[in-house]
């Protein structure tokens, strides 16, 4: 008799017991720790925060000019001269390379549509991007697209970033797209810190840049 009463009670409260068990299971699920991958994906390093702040600061600089010296050295040749870079917008620029005597100037004129290379002999060539144009006509492996960021002390946001910063949050070394960029000195212009001396290397090419003057407008 006792057995039958116990069986009856179990059947009667079975839905309630099931609900209690199910609710307990849900509670335990809610208290499960978040997977490490989810946590890591939300973590932003201090270096990334610093670079983002610097990018926001320099985003206000729409137009700028620089004067300096540049040298390119490979296993087969060496060239050095003056560099002048005028940037009017993100895709509009005028870059001039000239020998110390002022002769033999070579100019790059870029816009949204194309890039034109003007040679000292009066000839000119056009292409969609400056990198391939320089490679084809001068054999220079000079990444103008990346240099647009690097010369201001910024990484190219479209490329993987590997870098080290100094105590001020300025880049000391940067590696992007097989290029190794070393920042050996910075200079202050108003509220901005711009690179003064940069060494860029890729395979057998070494590029040295010394910026003597920045003008921001």
Q: Dump pLDDT digits (tens) for 155-193.
A: 998 899 999 988 888 899 999 999 999 999 999 888 889
Residue 30 has pLDDT above 80, yes or no: no
Residue 57 to residue 40: CA distance in whole angstroms: 27
Q: Where are the beta strands (DSSP E) in 16-100?
A: 64-73, 78-87, 93-98
Q: Does domain 46-216 have CATH number 2.50.20.10?
A: yes
Q: Which region, left, alpha or beta, applies to residue 104 given φ > 0 means left and ψ of -120 to 50 means alpha?
A: left
Q: Quick: pLDDT tens for 6-28.
A: 333 334 334 433 443 434 434 44
Structural domain boundaries in the chain = 2-32, 46-216
Residue 96 to residue 83: CA distance in whole angstroms: 6
pLDDT at 41: 35
Terminal CA-CA length for the chain: 98
How far lies 78's CA from each of 83, 101, 105, 140, in Å?
15, 16, 16, 11
CB count within 10 Å of CB 5 equals 9
Residue 137 has pLDDT above 80, yes or no: yes
Q: Quick: pLDDT tens for 55-112.
A: 788 777 778 999 999 999 988 888 999 999 999 977 899 999 998 766 678 999 999 8
Q: Quick: pLDDT tens for 39-59.
A: 333 445 777 777 778 778 877
**How would you label 130-150 residue by residue, b for 16+ Cβ within 10 Å and e otherwise?**
bbebbeeebebbbbbbbbbbb
Residue 191 token pair: 């509220």
């Amino acid at each position: 008799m006792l057995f039958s009463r116990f069986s009856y009670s179990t059947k009667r409260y079975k839905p309630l017991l099931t609900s209690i068990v199910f609710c307990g299971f849900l509670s335990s699920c809610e208290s499960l720790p978040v997977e490490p991958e989810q946590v890591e994906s939300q973590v932003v390093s201090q270096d990334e925060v610093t670079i983002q702040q610097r990018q926001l600061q320099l985003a206000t600089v729409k137009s700028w000019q620089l004067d300096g010296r540049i040298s390119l050295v490979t296993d087969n040749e060496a060239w050095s001269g003056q560099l002048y870079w005028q940037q009017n917008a993100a895709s509009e620029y005028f870059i001039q390379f000239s020998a110390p005597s002022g002769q033999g100037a070579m100019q790059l004129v870029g816009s949204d549509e194309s890039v034109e290379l003007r040679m000292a002999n009066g000839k000119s060539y056009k292409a969609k991007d400056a990198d391939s144009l320089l490679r084809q006509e001068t054999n220079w492996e000079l990444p103008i697209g990346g240099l647009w960021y690097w010369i201001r002390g910024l990484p190219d946001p479209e490329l993987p970033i590997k870098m080290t910063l100094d105590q001020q949050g300025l880049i000391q070394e940067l590696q992007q797209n097989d290029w190794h960029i070393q920042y050996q000195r910075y200079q202050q212009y108003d509220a901005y810190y711009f690179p003064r001396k940069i060494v860029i290397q890729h395979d057998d090419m070494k590029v040295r840049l010394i910026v003597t003057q920045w003008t921001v407008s």
